[in-house]
Every structure is written in C-alpha cells, then in structure tokens.
Chains A and B, each alone.
Chain A
Amino acid sequence: DTGVSQNPRHKITKRGQNVTFRCDPISEHNRLYWYRQTLGQGPEFLTYFQNEAQLEKSRLLSDRFSAERPKGSFSTLEIQRTEQGDSAMYLCASPGTGIHSGANVLTFGAGSRLTVL
C-alpha cells in the first residue's frame, strides 16, 4: 500500500464511452499529480493540482480529458468519447512521506489501467 489509492484498478470500455478514474492521495499533502504510462514508455505528466486549483496541464491532455479536485482532497480524471489511443495506465501521485518526504519526491499509486476496445 503506497498511501495513494486509485480506483478502479482496471477498466475495459468500448470506444466512444466515457470513463472516470478516482485518486485518493496521501492526506496531509496538498499537491496531487496525474501521469499516463503507455506500453514501453515511462510515465508522462498530465496535470497537477495544488489543493483544488489545477495549476498545470500537459499538451497531452486533450479537450476530452478533464480533471477535478473538489475541496482539495480526492481527484477525478474523466475521459470523454474514449479512443483506442487512450489505452494506458493512469497514475496518480502525491509528495512522499517518511524517508521520502519532500516536495520533490513523488509517491505513486498502483494506477488505473484503461483498455479501450
């Protein structure tokens, strides 16, 4: 258990459907990050929140993607009208704790794997 909880762990959907992923970060941190990892690639930054404010969005985040963090706690990532190219692992991260504490060290969740048929 990393302290960053993501669900669902797996989602299979048909092209054109909408999907939503949820992330519950380590509670004492106000920053939350979303990354995407496709097969054979390293994680790629998507977006980042400080409390409820979305402060940076990657160009990878097309108009079909929207992320929210109401009340600065959990976050959701919604993909509308999914395409096969959206198939990936969606990772949530927050600053680490303990020996890994510090703004520059991220603790990742187990991820939500999306398969678009």
Chain B
Amino acid sequence: AQSVSQHNHHVILSEAASLELGCNYSYGGTVNLFWYVQYPGQHLQLLLKYFSGDPLVKGIKGFEAEFIKSKFSFNLRKPSVQWSDTAEYFCAVKEGFQKLVFGTGTRLLVSP
C-alpha cells in the first residue's frame, strides 16, 4: 500500500520568506499526486494536482510543486509567503482506483 511522508510537521516563517514543504510517497509507477490546504476553521481545499505531463505544476495562490519521479517526491513551494498562507498542508497520492492516501500534514505559521 502507498504511504506518504511529510517530514516537516511544523514550519514557522516570516512574511516574504520562501517556502518548501517536503513530500515523499512510497512506490512508483503511474501516480496521481495532490496538495490540499486547510485554513483555520475551514474545509480541505485542493491547491494543485499532478496527473501527467510537465512535472512542475502550478496551483492557486502562487503555489507550485515539482514531481521528481526518481526521488518519489512532490515538494510544494512558494517563493514568498504571506500571513494568509497560515494553514495546514497535506500531500496525498491516489491509491488504486478510488482513494487518496494522505500524509500527516505540515502546519505552517507565517508571522507578519
């Protein structure tokens, strides 16, 4: 079964700092990868997804992620974070036909 590792559990940054959150999944082949975000008090929302094609995927709010097949990684990046990016970020991979396997999440705090 697939598993997803998010190595950073808590990240604290100042506004305008660059962000990179790590995500590794356990085995290869064709993968569908996702980053979801959960703002305080809100539901899970899709940030971006990778199904195939260009390994550099752009999402909403200036986020991007790079799929590196040889490293089983799908790291999330943003060049300059804002206070409003304070949230919990979850990496996920589709397993089998129907379900998503999520990592444990990274809680990001951006100080103004």
Contact = CB atoms under 8 A, between A and B. Distances in A.
A62 interface: no
A106 B100 contact: yes
Contacts of A96: 46
Interface stretch (B14-22, B71-79, B91-99): B91-99
B80 interface: no
A33 B99 contact: yes
A2 B43 contact: yes
B105 A41 contact: yes
Nearest to A46: B99
B102 interface: yes
A43 B104 CA distance: 8
Q: Taking chain B's interface residues, is the majority helix, strand, or loop, or is none over half, making it mixed?
A: strand
Contact-residue bracket for chain B: 20 to 34
Nearest to B44: A108
Most buried by A among B44, B45, B49, B105: B44
Interface string A44-75: 11001000000110000000000000000000
Contacts of A31: 98
15 contacts: A31-B98, A33-B99, A40-B104, A40-B105, A42-B92, A43-B90, A44-B102, A48-B98, A91-B44, A104-B51, A105-B34, A105-B49, A110-B42, A110-B43, A111-B43
